[in-house]
Amino acid sequence: MKVLTLVLLLAVAYAKHEQYQGWKSYYVRPSDQGQLRSLTSMVQKYRLDFISKASVGRNAVVLVKPQYNDLFLKELADQNIAYTVHINDVKAQLDIDDDLLEAGKNRLAEDVSIFDRYLELEEIDAYLIDIANKYPDLVTLQNGTTFEGRAIYLMKISKPSDDDKEKPIIIVDAGIHSREWIGPPAALYAISKLVDETIDNDLLEDLDWVILPMLNPDGYKYTRTTDPLWLKTRSTDNHVNSVECPGADANSNFDFYWNLYGTSSDPCDNNYPGSKPFSEIEVQFGQGNLAQYGYRTILYISLHSYGSQILYPWGHDGTLSQQAFALQTVGVSIANAIYENAQPNYPRYIVGNSALVTGQQTSGSTVDFLHYNGVPLSYNLVLPGVLDNTRGFNPDPKEIEQIAKETWAGIVAGARRARDLFGDWN
């Protein structure tokens, strides 16, 4: 019986991540806009999955299915696009990552900081509830329910003003893409600095804050238990492939040029935008709650990973909005603040229009939607991640606190510039 149990356990362990058998990942580095456009054109052709966003002169990491590997490499060679192997056996690397994650769980009882490991979903929720209970005069915690019945939280941090004047709002969210694990710790770090370790009083005297640290709890839970590379929500609908391939890209599910650019009609693709705008319960929660604050919001930052980029509208066609000058100058201020607090091993942030920097058109995104609906400064803040010549798909847990710290420095700089420029916006 013991032998049989051991055999079954080994079989289960081997079977995990079986869908990635034969997959490889590569560093690819486009040298100019032409190569960037060529790389973008290969996404649908070869069903590529970019773990990090491409940009000129920077390595991106792309996952390639075995049936497309040779064709993809041939086209890279034909286009003279530089590439090197990142991971030769994706399944084996995911198995290694599982072991490291399990080892991290075994240390939980000894840990003091919440920023030296990737937290379980339940730990994130518990932290938010604890903060709300400790600071009831400062913090309001709103919650909804996900497709699979989990809680989803929004935290408003507001210090009452003497004259009851409505203050401008800064919105920060994270975790809309479930596999981007570094975003939620950065959002929690912002909460801790605003509430637990308040040093910069002007950030609360002059501004209100709305923070959603985990916009896709179902997807995040699935990455921790089953598939670390899962990006979408976990919903099902009436599409014929929905049960086999659940979920939608929540960051393509907003009602702004929905399903017109950079999306797929196949639910099995990561860029499937859902059956209709706001089809995802989590997106409905985010949009519904953000709408009540939209008229006062002067800065919106959505935390993603990875690529060290600060991206702004318009993502659907690469044109510039009427606030392009402010978006660029404030974006540079954010990038400079991060650079001043960053470790030397991470590249400096690129600031620019989303479609132009990445070569990819996007539609239905939070950044474009909120900007269209009146938020003057709206950004995807794409955090740094796996360094060149390293393995894995997320930053080493040892890097979490440093990335969160430098990200907070950028958020502070952006908030102050937004206040100075748009404090009387509405």
Structure token pair of residue 253: 């599910």
Strand 377-383 and strand 309-312: pairing? Answer: antiparallel
Cα separation of 349 and 357, whole Å? 11
Residues of the chain with pLDDT under 70: 1-15, 100, 102-112, 162-164, 386-391, 425-426
- pLDDT digit string, tens, across residues 2-51: 444 444 344 444 457 888 999 999 999 999 999 999 999 999 899 999 99
Q: What is the dihedral of CA 262, 264, 269, 271, to 10 degrees?
A: 30
- pLDDT digit string, tens, across residues 329-353: 999 999 999 999 998 888 899 999 9
Classify domain 112-226+252-422 at the CATH class level: alpha beta
Given CATH 3.40.190.10, say whether it is the number of domain 16-98: no
**pLDDT at position 107:** 56
Is the separation of the CB atoms in 179 and 304 below 8 Å? no
Cα separation of 350 and 331, whole Å? 9
Domain boundaries along the sequence of the chain: 16-98, 112-226+252-422
Question: Could you give the count of Cα atoms lying within 13 Å of 99 in the half-sphere of its Cβ?
Answer: 8
Longest dimension (CA), the chain: 73
User: What is the helix (H) or strand (E) element at residue 352, kind and residue range?
Assistant: strand 350-353
**pLDDT at position 110:** 52
**pLDDT at position 370:** 96
